[in-house]
Amino acid sequence: MTIQKKRKKRNLRKTKKIPHQININNENQEEEQDKKEDKKEDKKEDKKEYKEEVKKEDKKEYKEEVKKEDKKDEAKSEEQNKIEDPKDSNSKQLSKKEEKQKKLFLKYLPSNINTDKENESCSIKQEPRENKYRDLIKPSSDITISNNRFQDNSHLRLINNWEEGNTTQTNPPTKSIDEQYNCLDDFPTGVIMDYAPNNIWRSTSEEKKELERYFKYKIESMRKAGECHRQIRKYAQSIIKPGIKLLDMVEKIENMLRFITNLNLTDCGQAFPTGCSLNNVAAHFTPNKDDETVLQYDDVMKLDFGTQMNGYIIDCAFTVAFNPI
């Protein structure tokens, strides 16, 4: 055999062995990859099972804690409330909404309010301010200033007199509202209406009482605006007489409003322009600077003005007539 033939045979053998070895190596690699993937999947499944078990245990513990807390709260509420509420379940359902309302209200609560229950004698203090409008309401030397609440309204049809009683204001007014009351929760409460028997739980529920305390600032602001309106209304009824120009009447009323409320932009003052609509005009008429209209004995006037405190408006309108026929 020649040397060339021997070399050819060797080369053929090599070519036959190489693909066989490659196949073996590929099979080994695939087996290793399969093993690795199986291990990864096993680990993932173990983690999922572990997490699910932990969640179940946590939920059980949380539910048990919530039940314990609910029982404690129920025991406390039973001790505090001797009167049983017929709709206690409804008040519990509303507690989440009430909590949101409390959070929103506390977010915008002014800094001068004391929310401690212990010191409720003056929870909302009023900071004294200088009154720049005192010169606008100086009474003439002919008018005598008295401390009587009584005022004769006999010149006005179907409007009663102001009866004698306790008052913090003079007649005519010479004191601003801040000079009469040092604290925002000192203002007269007026008439308070109770709930109907089927809704009496709104008065006895502790959650409702607590919620009402957080609305105290709004309520007291409206009471202050109402007291200002009452005093200005009394003054307006004393100056409205036949022969007065509507423009002069409106300026006097609005000047008194500025003085009593101690006007301070958006904090307190006038809610809207004073309306003094005559006869066939139903509402919302106010005179311009060049208006020369004079109130006559036979006229029927609808007077409407409003006060506002901390953005809360009090509005009241009444009809003025002189001729009884």
SS (H, E, C) 268-282: EEEEEEEEEEECCCC
Segment 209-217 shows an average pLDDT of 83
Two structure tokens written together for 289:
């600077």
Q: Which two tokens stand for residue 158?
A: 């179907």
CB 294 within 8 A of CB 216: no
pLDDT, tens digit (0-9, with 9 covering 90-100), for 237-248: 999 999 999 999
List the single range of 73-87, 107-121, 191-205, 303-317 with lowest mean pLDDT: 107-121
Q: How confident is the model at residue 26 (pLDDT cuts 50, 70, 90)?
A: low
State the CB neighbour count (10 A cutoff) for residue 228: 25
Q: How confident is the model at residue 301 (pLDDT cuts 50, 70, 90)?
A: very high
Per mean pLDDT, which of 76-80, 176-180, 211-215 is the most reliable?
Answer: 176-180
CATH topology of domain 147-321: Creatine Amidinohydrolase (3.90.230)
Q: Which residue has the tokens 């093993």?
A: 35
pLDDT value of residue 265: 78
Report which of residues 169 and 55 the model is more confident about.
169
CB 112 within 8 A of CB 220: no
What pLDDT band is residue 317 in, cutting at 50, 70 and 90?
A: very high
What's at 260, amino acid-wise? I
What residue ranges do the domains of the chain occupy?
Answer: 147-321
Residue 211 phi/psi, 5-degree rounding, is -65, -40
Residue range 296-309: mean pLDDT, rounded: 96
Sheet of 312-321: strand order equals 268-278, 300-309, 312-321
pLDDT tens, residue by residue, 135-181? 888 877 778 888 889 999 999 999 999 999 889 999 999 999 988 98
pLDDT score of 106: 55
Burial 229-265 (b: 16+ CB within 10 A, else e): bbbbbbbbbbebeeeeebbebbebbbebbbbbbbbee
Is the per-residue pLDDT at 82 higher than 50? no
pLDDT of residue 250: 97
More confident residue, 156 or 21: 156
Q: Which residues contact 186 (CB under 8 A, 6 or more apart)?
A: 122
Q: d(Cα 108, Cα 224) in Å, to the nearest integer? A: 20
Q: Which one has a higher pLDDT value, 164 or 85?
A: 164
Is pLDDT of 7 > 90?
A: no
What mean pLDDT do residues 289-300 have?
Answer: 95
